[in-house]
Amino acid sequence: MIRYGELHKALSAYTRDDIHEEIPMDYYRRVIKACLRANNHNLGWDVQQAASILLYLAFNEGHLHPSQLNAEGIRVLDWSERFLEQINTDTELRVIAALTSA
């Protein structure tokens, strides 16, 4: 199970500064729930995948700006977008995708 502290620490690898207060707590909860659900489907999501999805959601909703991300964070945004698109095409995992878009 992924914990909030682990997720926050992994997320910090993609940002220039501490962005803890800029991302609503609900985003952390949604991503942790999505990971639990994915792992119940034996997908083996780890904390890095969870952090990349959290980064993607926060960025797309306007909570983070490009200047707050480091080079790895920018790269991870692209990966997360492709990853979420892949999930959306897999019928079995649409519920997981719904959690990340709620």
Tens-digit pLDDT string for the chain (102 aa): 788 999 999 999 999 987 877 899 999 998 898 888 888 878 888 999 899 999 999 999 999 999 999 999 999 999 998 888 877 666 455 656 666 665
Query: How far is Cα 102 from Cα 83, in angstroms, rounded to an integer?
Result: 17
* pLDDT given for residue 90 in this prediction: 62
Query: How far is Cα 74 from Cα 86, in angstroms, rounded to an integer?
Result: 19
**Can you give the residue range of the structural domain that contains 96?**
4-101
Q: What are phi and psi of 15, to 5 degrees?
A: -125, 160
Query: For the chain, how many structural domains are there in total?
Result: 1
pTM above 0.85, yes or no: no
User: Measuring CA to CA, how many Å separate 69 from each of 16, 34, 73, 78, 90?
Assistant: 6, 23, 5, 13, 30
